[in-house]
Chain A
């Protein structure tokens, strides 16, 4: 699973691990992942169907190649 860097503290973590979610009372259906180090919320773009849709459109209209969604997630890395 791709890791991301927290925009607040720079901590690297795997957003799919949801390590902070056990503390949150409004986690149901939430697409945010919270940094296990500082709590800063980052949107998990891997879960976004809108992002996947737009990325496919870009792939089709730019080069015609099928870029997979993981590339988009990795672009989130600092």
Chain B
């Protein structure tokens, strides 16, 4: 290993900083909290929106530990990875602590090789040892330490096992001893590049390899720190090496590392638990199978349709809304208020057509409550069984078919919980183009959980066919817009990497307690908003604005979509909260004001309609106000276009 500017022996001598790096989802943050005692300062890395945390080590307050965003490998392919590489290049680090997943040793070591080549004192923490042991994975850590020349610390950070060893390992951390022999063309290029460049924050060999890999961050660093003549010479070396090589230099480098890691893994991995694969593994595999996975998904959707749509929105809503509220509570309370408050305006505000009780509370408690209870129970079962990440993996195949980035799946699936958080998660995507694309798809065709519950409830009371038409149209729009956008905004696809936990029988207490907590949160959030929405409607009604909105929206809503003009108001209220708008339509359906075809058209339109105000706010925050305005206008137009076309298609096929 060649010399470099970093201190190569005493990692903890004096003040300085240590970077905690590793793949996403390997327990870096937990280890960070254990080592620092959680005195965390979270800040955006300069020039980016990716957050990193810094805090002094608990036992060595002069040393700052930096928790970096997860990295798959360098060259970086996302903002997260870019920030981590910038940090490694810009900050004078005393040491690197790589946190790796012990049960995925091959994947961990592939990154170890890249970090070790940087020549910075280093410790390898093999985390999640408990899960590795459960799977029958046994690692000869001392042999691995000897081969790499690094301290290897097995840990289970969540249980604080082995964490104390990390500090002492840092005291004896040195640069790794491994040196991989690359093909001669690459070795020659490394030698020439190393001779040209001066002092570097990481080893010259690692810098040369990054340069040969077309790594943009190291290129920026070299351009900033070398004169123009040297940069031209460096480019020439790379270009010449590429001409001599039959494969791309990146592929050659990667293949050499893979071969080294395969050999090393075979040597140190004593036992890999083949027996571990049981029924749950087989079931888990089936759920992501391109054919069986789709059948399983359809089966789950049918189960949800029955449980949420038939049982929740039919039976339970009937009991609460019609029997309890409609026949007992509302008549009694209306009489009580009208008798007690002789001023019609005030009594109307409480128990009138747009009254806080007769509309706001009845919507929230009698209609929404049973629907979201059943939806949250069903969702809790999916969540606790480990199905959700498999749904992401299965969707990945579908998105791949239309040419969308694999990573786009995660924000989409998260958007089913809340579009706002899904939009924030678009940060995992690599380019601005991809982030924009997925933000558009989220705003357009991904209903949030509460709205999904109400939609399933409404359509469930019509027929399974109605639900399938709604789902089919929304999916078709999603895929068509995604395909079109992917064609208009082409780019390199990247793989979706998501860890699939074992499938298991859901723990009933988990599902029930999560459902209770979600219901409490939901009611706390929804009741005030439903009250505000009702109050707005009351004021609009009393000032004749409601009639005006209906009349303004009539050409579009009645003329094009074939819906009653009052539907305009519920579309408008959907902007306050999507499920509030959908619930207004639910009431219209119950009152017989909407035919089955009109229910389908209105549900498709409100699903595709602009998302709630919170989502628009976050789109503005993440992108720009111009982008958010553009998305709102596009989504508005598409929602009405598709809704109208569906109306005529349904009429053509005899729906009324």
A contacts, CB < 8 Å to B: 3, 5, 7-14, 17, 19-20, 22-26, 29-32, 34, 36-45, 47-51, 54-55, 72, 75-76, 78
Contact = CB atoms under 8 A, between A and B. Distances in A.
B54 to A, nearest CB: 13
Given A17-B38, A24-B424, A8 B392 contact: yes
A42 B417 CA distance: 10
Given A9-B25, A25-B614, A38-B414, A51 B513 contact: yes
A28 B422 CA distance: 18
Contacts of A24: 420-421, 424, 618
Given A8-B389, A13-B29, A43-B514, A31 B520 contact: yes
A12 B383 CA distance: 15
B223 interface: no
A45 B244 CA distance: 61
B373 interface: no
Given A38-B414, A44-B517, A8 B388 contact: yes
B614 A37 contact: no
Contacts of B167: none
A25 to B, nearest CB: 5
Nearest to A38: B410
A76 B514 CA distance: 8
6 contacts: A8-B388, A26-B614, A38-B410, A39-B428, A40-B417, A41-B414
Interface of B: 24-25, 27, 29-30, 33, 38, 40, 42, 51, 53, 70, 157-158, 383-384, 386, 388-389, 392, 410-411, 413-414, 417-418, 420-422, 424-425, 428, 498-499, 501, 507, 509-510, 513-514, 516-521, 524-525, 614, 617-618, 621
Contact of B51 (A22, A26, A44): A22
Contact of A49 (B42, B520, B618): B520
Nearest to A7: B383
Q: Which of B24, B420, B517, B520 lies at the interface centre, i.e. has the most chain A CB atoms within 10 A of its CB?
A: B517
B418 A41 contact: yes
B40 A17 contact: yes
Given A17-B33, A26-B614, A31-B517, A3 B158 contact: yes
A10 B25 contact: yes
Contacts of A76: 510, 513-514
A34 B371 CA distance: 24
Given A25-B420, A25-B614, A75-B510, 7 more contacts: A9-B498, A10-B501, A22-B42, A26-B614, A39-B411, A50-B517, A75-B507
B29 A19 contact: yes
Q: Which of A22, A25, A39, A54 lies at the interface centre, i.e. has the most chain B CB atoms within 10 A of its CB?
A: A39
Q: Which of B425, B498, B519, B525 lies at the interface centre, i.e. has the most chain A CB atoms within 10 A of its CB?
A: B425
A7 B420 CA distance: 18
Given A12-B27, A50-B519, A75-B510, A38 B51 contact: no
A8 B428 CA distance: 15
B118 to A, nearest CB: 24
Contacts of A48: 513, 516-517, 520-521
B407 to A, nearest CB: 11
A-B pairs with the 7 shortest C-beta distances? A48-B517, A39-B425, A50-B520, A31-B521, A45-B517, A7-B383, A43-B517
Given A19-B29, A26-B420, A51 B516 contact: yes
B157 A45 contact: no
B521 A19 contact: no
Contacts of B525: 29
Nearest to B512: A54
Contacts of A38: 24-25, 410, 414, 425, 428, 498
Nearest to A4: B158
A45 B519 CA distance: 11
B577 to A, nearest CB: 11
Contacts of A32: 521
Contact of A40 (B51, B157, B384, B414): B414
A5 B424 CA distance: 20
A17 B41 CA distance: 11
Contact of B25 (A3, A29, A31, A37): A37
A78 to B, nearest CB: 6
A7 B513 contact: no
Contact of A10 (B51, B499, B514): B499
Q: Which of A3, A24, A38, A47 lies at the interface centre, i.e. has the most chain B CB atoms within 10 A of its CB?
A: A38
A39 B414 contact: yes
B413 A8 contact: yes
Contacts of A7: 383-384, 386, 388-389
Contacts of B618: 24-25
B417 A23 contact: no
Contacts of B70: 37
Contacts of B417: 40-41
Contacts of A26: 420, 614, 617
Nearest to A34: B421
A31 B603 CA distance: 29
Nearest to A47: B517
A37 B27 CA distance: 10
A72 to B, nearest CB: 6
B594 to A, nearest CB: 31
B414 to A, nearest CB: 6
Given A10-B499, A12-B27, A12-B157, A43 B621 contact: no
A11 B519 CA distance: 24
Given A25-B618, A41-B414, A19 B517 contact: no
Contacts of A37: 24-25, 29, 70
A26 B516 CA distance: 21
B30 to A, nearest CB: 5
B402 to A, nearest CB: 22
A45 to B, nearest CB: 4
A65 B558 CA distance: 62
B580 to A, nearest CB: 15
A36 B29 contact: yes
Nearest to B376: A43
Contacts of A13: 29-30
Contacts of A23: 51, 424
Contacts of A72: 509, 513
A78 B501 CA distance: 9
Given A25-B621, A38-B425, A43 B521 contact: yes
B414 A50 contact: no
Nearest to B383: A7
A49 B521 CA distance: 10
A30 B51 CA distance: 21
